[in-house]
Amino acid sequence: MKRFTCGELVESITAYLDDALDPPDRAGFETHAACCDDCRRYVHQFRVTIRAVGDQPPEKLTDRTRERLMSAFKQRRQS
């Protein structure tokens, strides 16, 4: 099992969350996080950030573009 420093752990969070660490690294990550309050807080804030990024407002095409595309789609069928 790899021993993680705090500096190494914070650089591995995305790999950890994507399940891209090999088993010894994954175990090392979890062992360090289990006994390091600072890193646990950082990981928590990282997850909060990811959730917050996913909460962006919806966007729409302008009516003009949308209508233009809808009519191009309709015409395709007739051609």
Partner 1 sequence: MGSLAGSGLPPDDVVVSALRAGDEEMFATLLDTWARGMLRVARSYVSTDDSAEEVVQDTWLAVIGAIDGFEGRSSVKTWVYRILVNTAKKRSVRESRTLPWSAFERDAGPAVDPARFDGIDAALPASWKEAPAAWPTPEGQALAAEVRGLIGEALATLPPRQRIVITLRDVEGCTSEEVCEILEISAVNQRVLLHRARAAVRDLLESYFESVKQPE
8 near partner 1, rule: CB under 8 A: yes
Nearer to partner 1, 23 or 72 (CB): 72
Nearer to partner 1, 1 or 61 (CB): 61
Give me the helices (H) in the chain, please: 6-11, 13-17, 23-35, 37-53, 63-78
Taking CB under 8 A as the criterion, the residue among 1, 6, 24, 30 binding partner 1 is 6
Element (H, E) at 34: helix 23-35
62 near partner 1, rule: CB under 8 A: yes
Which residue in the block uniquely carries the two structure tokens 């804030």? 45
